């Protein structure tokens, strides 16, 4: 088991409306750049670029990071993961090989970004997932929450201070999880939740 701290915590453009939450970055050997969803096999950035009606120009390096931040700015989407400090077994990127040590402070992100009204989770199946870790995070603050079961998008909500935060569980954009759906279906699923 190796312990890891999240390398970026979160990125939230000014006027963010939506927060997308994953579990934790993959092992560093799978990174193409130093930012969220750095594994080029993951469909996340292709999906975001399609929704933003732009093309990905840079596959790696600093320019790739800036390009992806620009996509998030255009969409007014913030991004983070539920794990701030984790243990990883077997140098594996799979969620089931991660265990939580400390959750990311989602409430701080909401406090600093009062325009966020929706949180999208990129995974919910399995013992270790963004949605499950979020429920556990809420429980540490004495907030009980369970997502309904059923076909995605799975929708719920919780009250945070004076805001109702909509919660949405979508399918993961990782190739292993996404192989049951076409790329176009994933784009539509995400677009419907991101675009007002």
* pLDDT tens readout for residues 50-101: 999 999 999 999 999 999 999 999 999 999 999 999 999 887 777 778 999 9
In the predicted model, what is the mean pLDDT of residues 117-143?
89
- CATH fold label, 2-194: Uracil-DNA Glycosylase, subunit E (3.40.470)
> What is the distance between the alpha carbons of residues 81 and 128, in angstroms, rounded to a whole number?
12
* pLDDT tens readout for residues 1-32: 899 999 999 999 999 999 999 999 999 998 99
- Tell me 169's DSSP state: E
In the predicted model, what is the mean pLDDT of residues 165-181?
84
Q: Within a 10 A sphere around the Cβ of 147, how many other Cβ atoms?
A: 17
Position 126 confidence tier, pLDDT thresholds 50, 70, 90:
low
Position 177 confidence tier, pLDDT thresholds 50, 70, 90:
low
107 phi/psi in degrees, rounded to 5: -65, -35
Global pTM reads 0.95
Nearest in space to 20 (alpha carbons), one of 51, 54, 58: 51
Whether the CA torsion 139, 145, 146, 152 is positive or negative: it is: negative
Say what the pLDDT of residue 176 is.
72
Q: Where are the beta strands (DSSP E) in 92-178?
A: 98-103, 118-121, 154-160, 163-169
Nearest in space to 169 (alpha carbons), one of 31, 21, 16, 37: 21
Say what the pLDDT of residue 9 is.
98
> What is the distance between the alpha carbons of residues 11 and 28, in angstroms, rounded to a whole number?
19
């Amino acid at each position: 088991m190796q312990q890891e701290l999240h390398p970026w915590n979160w990125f939230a453009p000014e006027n963010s409306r939506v927060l997308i939450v994953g579990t934790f970055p993959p092992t560093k050997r799978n990174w193409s750049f130093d930012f969220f969803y750095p594994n080029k096999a993951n469909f996340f950035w292709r999906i975001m670029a399609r929704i933003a009606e732009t093309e990905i120009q840079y596959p790696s390096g600093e320019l790739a990071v800036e390009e992806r931040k620009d996509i998030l700015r255009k969409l007014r989407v913030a991004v983070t993961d539920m794990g701030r400090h984790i243990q990883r077994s077997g140098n594996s990127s799979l969620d089931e090989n991660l265990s939580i040590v400390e959750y990311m402070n989602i409430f701080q992100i909401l406090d600093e970004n009062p325009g966020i009204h929706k949180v999208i989770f990129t995974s919910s199946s399995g013992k270790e997932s963004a949605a499950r870790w979020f429920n556990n995070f809420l429980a540490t603050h004495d907030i009980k929450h369970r997502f309904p079961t059923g076909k995605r998008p799975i929708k719920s909500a919780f009250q945070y201070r004076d805001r109702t935060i909509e919660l949405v569980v979508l399918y993961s954009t990782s190739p292993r999880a996404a192989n049951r759906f076409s790329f176009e279906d994933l784009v539509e699923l995400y677009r419907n939740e991101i675009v007002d």
